[in-house]
A and B are shown apart, each in its own frame.
Chain A
Amino acid sequence: MSETNLNRRDFLKLAGVSVAAIGGLQIYRRAEASSGGPEGEHQWAMVVDQSRCTGCDYCTLACRAHNDINPEISWNQVIETGAISGKQVYLARPCMHCEHAPCVDVCPVQASTYRPDGIVQMDYDRCIGCRYCEVACPYGARSFNWEAFTGRNPAVPQWGQPEVARRPRGVVEKCSFCSQRIDRGLALGLTPGIDPDATPACVVRCPTGARIFGDLKDPESNVSQLLRGHASFRLREDLGTRPRVYYLPPNGSPEA
């Protein structure tokens, strides 16, 4: 009988230590998480100045090269939207990286997730190709990869150097705000939106400076300043998706 008593005491000791250890670990984990997010250190956003956009499509081409995209599909589109006082207006449309992204809501396998910096990120290893997200996206920002992209990318090398792996067949692709460039740049101590090596390729390549990228959390960043000083709008604000791509409306200037 005394043996079983001892056994029980030992058991309680062991159990106590184990529970304390795991409990401690959880507290540590939680402390770590709160330092990085849910809302991270940066909140990336893009501003597209429609009065400067000439519809040249350099952004799409740079995107194709840097993200090694199948020429059949496009992560970025420049759409003709009509004319204001005789001047054609263009709508450059990357992924909006919504704060309340319908694509993230509908994904059954959590292949679309929010990064702490606001980027809506695709995990191509998790994607099962159900295409719910493609249907849910009100902006048409997602494309399905019907065929594995093999062979030469016609946008390389003239428009840039591929920086990410090609996606397999049967997944849904979309713009990543060039997160590979942002992450690499931050690791090297660069500032996205200022240093070209840390800024999305479309923003760097735009010849007229119609695209501006930066951190909404930094009140002095170029995007924060622009949005403070100008009227801006976002696409389909009525849907409550809260996109992170802001547009400065065209002003009808006669200059092309």
Chain B
Amino acid sequence: MNKRERFALAAVFALLAAGVTLVMVQAKAEAPAPAVQEQEPLNCSECHQDFQMEWASGAHSSATNDPIFAQAWADQGQPGACMVCHVTGYDPGTGTWEQDGVACTACHNPVPTNHPEEPMPVQDTTELCGQCHSDARFGWQEWQTSTHYQRGMDCTVCHDPHSASLKNVEGLEAQGPSGLCVNCHRDYNMDFPYSNHAMAGLNCVDCHLRHFGSSGGRTIHTMPDHSFTASLTSCTSCHDREMHGPTDAATGAEITTQAVVPATNGALAEEPAPVSPYGFAGLAGLLGLAGGMVLAPWLERAYRKLSQKEKSS
């Protein structure tokens, strides 16, 4: 076997090795994602500890065991109707429930079998909260007259559903609940601090989110007036001696949108593969070339032996 043949044989090995590697790399790239595993019975806090803690600190978690509720429930003869909202997974047939408090599956339902690949469902809508909070005691009708509601904003814009309290925006905590108002209504925050009302220590919610029928103290199921309109009562509660007659507040105009000009979308540059399969194939080819060089003499000898056998037989 001469040098040229030896090289040629090595080249065949190199090509083969490169080809096989290319196929293997591709097969790996195309391998489907691992199958989704069936979930064990729910243990949300294993992964969602933050949410669990937030929830445990709020009114949703104590909806069943809250002392005011427990007392009122006992006084009324433990009616099942309360449990539709005050527990999770209430079964009216047996009068039993899955979990105390308004827990995860009260809103995140039904649980997908392939969670966490598939996210937990939740309708982030006013209607979901309204399943329990739509009673007149919560000021549902007033909320529906508000501009917030009519522009499609939902409860979770201001309320954190897990802690069942108001959201807080960094830097605006000092203003209390009104911090949330001025976070969006920033223009008002430019002027209001210089007003007499602000000087007297008043803030947005003192006039725009008054509690129904209460003079300060909150009782069970009382909620602020979520129409966000400053009513005459807002004024008269301080200015009753100065008032002459009823006045009316002006309402704002709807936002209108403007017109014209279609936009186009141009061509894209090609995306380079993270690690090219050719790289792998090239490396394998080199290895094959080396292997072929080494194996060539041995192969020749084996071939000779074989052909000699054929001749002798």
Contacts and interface: CB of A to CB of B under 8 A. Distances in A.
Chain B associates with chain A? yes
Interface of A: 3-4, 6-8, 11, 14-15, 18-19, 21-22, 25, 29, 37-40, 43, 45, 49, 51-52, 54-58, 61, 86-88, 99-100, 104, 110, 113-116, 118, 123, 126, 152, 154, 156-158, 161, 184, 188, 196-197, 204, 207-209, 216-217, 227-232, 242, 246, 248-249, 251, 253-256
A117 B163 CA distance: 38
B212 interface: no
Contacts of B257: 49, 51, 230, 248, 251
Interface size class of B (residues with CB under 8 A): 35 or more
A158 B54 contact: yes
A248 B187 contact: no
B221 interface: no
A57 B15 CA distance: 58
Nearest to A86: B187
A15 B26 CA distance: 22
B51 interface: yes
B262 interface: yes
B253 A253 contact: yes
A207 B184 contact: yes
A162 B272 CA distance: 28
A66 B19 CA distance: 42
A249 B22 contact: no
A208 B153 contact: yes
A51 B255 contact: yes
B119 A197 contact: yes
Contacts of A157: 48, 50-51, 54, 162
Determine which residue in B1, B119, B124 has the highest number of CB atoms from chain A within 10 A of its CB, and name it.
B119
Contact of A15 (B1, B15, B167, B253): B15
Interface string B80-91: 000000000000
Given A7-B303, A29-B26, A256-B186, A39 B12 contact: no
B272 A113 contact: yes
Contacts of B293: none
* 9 A-B pairs with least C-beta separation: A18-B15, A207-B157, A227-B263, A157-B50, A54-B184, A56-B184, A157-B51, A39-B268, A216-B265
A233 to B, nearest CB: 9
Chain A, interface SS category: loop
Contacts of B74: none
A19 B270 CA distance: 27
Contacts of B249: none
A38 B269 contact: yes
A229 B259 contact: yes
Contacts of B23: 25
Contacts of A51: 255, 257-258
A110 B269 CA distance: 13
Contacts of B267: 38-39, 99
A231 B50 contact: no
Interface string B100-123: 000000000000000001110000
A116 B160 contact: no
B188 to A, nearest CB: 7
A251 B188 CA distance: 19
Contacts of A230: 257-261
B18 interface: yes
A152 B304 CA distance: 73
A251 B153 contact: no
Contacts of B167: 158
B263 A246 contact: yes
Contact of A232 (B124, B157, B254, B261): B261
A88 B186 contact: yes
